[in-house]
Structure 1
Amino acid sequence: MKPVIQEETTGCGIAAVANILGKSYAEMKAIANAMGIYASDTSLWSDTQYVRHLLAHSGVETSAEEIPFSSWEALPDQALLSIKHHQEGGKDYWHWVVFIRSETGACVLDSASYLDENIRTDFSQMQPKWFIQVFD
């Protein structure tokens, strides 16, 4: 598994969807841009509808609501997680990552370009607030 790395500072939503769909960042960015979705739009990391729309466009179903995070063990086999929550001007923002559980174990695909390792298992270091289940 080779995680997609975001090529723009604010491209975590595009990269997360690319990780789920098995596409490159450039491929996913082209699809997103054709749909009027751009990494430079801060709504991409402050509104869940953009990633939902990108996934639905490719036939991938997601949970209708954000589900509060309770534990790593309680997560479904695939989910979009919101981490690094913060507020700017009274508006919530976060960083998108992808949680995957398989027969080889669980990990988080984190597209941040500054990380030494983008396949993360340092679960105690991540503080998810909620998740969106991704159905196969």
Structure 2
Amino acid sequence: MKPVVQLDRTGCGIASAAAIAGISYGRAKAAAAALGISIDDDRLWSDTAYVRQLLGQLGRRVDSVPRPFRSWDTLPGCALLAIKWHRQGTRAAWHWVVYVREDGRRYVLDSKRALKSHVRRDFGRMRPKWYLAVMPRGSR
């Protein structure tokens, strides 16, 4: 899986969906807009519904209920992770990243534009709160 860089301040969920679907940020943003998902809506980082809906539109299934993060070793092969979890007023907020385990390697795709590398392996620095499992392609 390849990283996709977010081009908007609130675009981490769109970029994560694009990486999972294997498409560009622009295509994922257009698909989101067609679903009525606006880049200006802060629910992109404070609600799971938009990202789940977008991934469904892009042909990928994701869990409907977040699971608490226990350890890196217990994550499925692909998962949306909520990191940098905090309160913003009365709402929870976080940064979406994608955890990937494939071919004996594991890494996190982080879409934050300012990063030198969008493929992260500094697991001790990230503090996931919970995750949504992403089903393998073709699973029902």
Superposed pair shares fold, TM > 0.5: yes
User: Take 2:42 and 2:99, find their aligned partners in 1: how far apart are those partners?
Assistant: 22
Aligned partner of residue 124 in structure 1, secondary structure? coil
**What is the one-letter code of the residue matched to 1:43?**
R
Aligned residue number for residue 92 of structure 1: 92
User: Take 1:29 and 1:62, find their aligned partners in 2: how far apart are those partners?
Assistant: 18
**What is the one-letter code of the residue matched to 2:102?**
S
Deviation at 1:104, TM superposition (A): 4.0
Extract unaligned runs of 5+ from structure 2.
none
User: Take 1:87 and 1:24, find their aligned partners in 2: how far apart are those partners?
Assistant: 30
Extract unaligned runs of 5+ from structure 1.
none
1:55 maps onto 2:72 in alignment: no
User: Take 2:59 and 2:19, find their aligned partners in 1: how far apart are those partners?
Assistant: 15
1:8 maps onto 2:8 in alignment: yes
**What is the one-letter code of the residue matched to 1:84?**
K
User: Take 1:25 and 1:114, find their aligned partners in 2: how far apart are those partners?
Assistant: 16
Deviation at 1:58, TM superposition (A): 2.3
Deviation at 1:85, TM superposition (A): 0.7
Deviations 1:63-111 (A, max 9, x none): 1210000000000000000000111112100000000000140000000
Native 8 Å contact 2:31 2:57 kept in 1: no
Instruction: State the percentage of identical aligned residues.
Output: 49
**What is the one-letter code of the residue matched to 2:10?**
T
**What does 1:110-125 align with in structure 2 at a 5 Å threshold?**
110-125=110-125
Aligned residue number for residue 30 of structure 2: 30
Count residues in correspondence: 136
1:40 maps onto 2:74 in alignment: no
Native 8 Å contact 2:2 2:22 kept in 1: no
Aligned residue number for residue 20 of structure 2: 20
Aligned partner of residue 95 in structure 1, secondary structure? strand
**What is the one-letter code of the residue matched to 1:81?**
L
